[in-house]
Amino acid sequence: MNKKWRTIFFYVGLTIGILLIIAGIVIGKDLANMRLEGSDL
């Protein structure tokens, strides 16, 4: 993969990743949902 595409993928990916984290906390209440129970023994 050449440097140009690597740079583009990196910045686009990082922006999407950060937006998803913010959206998950603000909209999705993901953190509360993630409290799993030990039912998978």
Partner 1 sequence: MFKKLDLPFYRRLSQTIFGLLLTNSYIQVITTKSIYSGPLKGFCIPFLNCHACPFAVFSCPIGMLQYYAATQQLPLFLFGFFIVIGLIVGRAACGWLCPFGLIQDIMFKIKTRKFRIPGFLNYGKYVILIVFVIILPLLTHIHWFSRLCPYGALIAGIPWVLWNPIDPDFEAPVIDLETIGFMYVLKIGILVFFLVWFIYAKRPFCRVACPLGAIWAVFNKISLLRFKVKESCVSCQQCDEICPMELPTYDKVDSENCIKCFDCTSCKHISAKFSIR
Residues that bind partner 1 in the complex, under the rule CB under 8 A: 1, 3, 6-7, 9-11, 13-14, 16-25, 27-28, 30-41
Q: Please report how close the Cβ of residue 36 comes to partner 1 at its closest, in angstroms.
A: 5
Give the Cα separation of 25 and 19 in Å (integer).
Answer: 10
Q: Please report how close the Cβ of residue 5 comes to partner 1 at its closest, in angstroms.
A: 8
Give the Cα separation of 23 and 31 in Å (integer).
Answer: 11
Q: Please report how close the Cβ of residue 27 comes to partner 1 at its closest, in angstroms.
A: 7
Give the Cα separation of 34 and 3 in Å (integer).
Answer: 37
